[in-house]
């Protein structure tokens, strides 16, 4: 039943198979949103996946300085998210 499958993806304790299915689904949705946003307004519309897509585009076109900028943005975002998680967990 589809409802059983969907409830297994949102359960508090998931199997490895459910985690893989959830990850693939979310990656597909993120990619579709990036592509749709790019077609609609000519710019990627999300933070992490948009920056990775931008880096891939610039790498394919040989704009290596823009690739470095995109990866620096990704690194900054990841460090900011990690430091926020550390601060929140420390405050608990």
pTM strictly above 0.75: no
The total domain count for the chain is 2
In the chain, what is the straight-line distance between the N-terminal and C-terminal CA atoms, in Å?
40
Each residue of 35-79: pLDDT tens digit? 888 888 877 777 777 788 888 888 888 988 888 888 888 888 889
Same domain, 67 and 78: yes
Which residues span the domain enclosing 87? 47-92
User: Which residue, 25, 44, 63, sits at the end of a domain?
Assistant: 44
Same domain, 27 and 64: no
pLDDT band for 82, please (50, 70, 90 cuts). very high
Same domain, 4 and 21: yes
């Amino acid at each position: 039943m589809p409802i059983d499958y969907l409830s297994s993806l949102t359960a508090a304790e998931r199997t490895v198979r459910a985690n893989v299915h959830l990850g693939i689904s979310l990656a597909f949705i993120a990619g579709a949103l990036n592509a749709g946003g790019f077609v609609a307004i000519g710019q990627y519309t999300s933070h992490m996946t948009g920056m990775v897509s931008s880096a891939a585009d610039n790498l394919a076109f040989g704009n290596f300085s823009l690739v470095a900028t995109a990866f620096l943005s990704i690194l900054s975002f990841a460090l900011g998210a990690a430091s926020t998680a550390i601060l929140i967990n420390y405050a608990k």
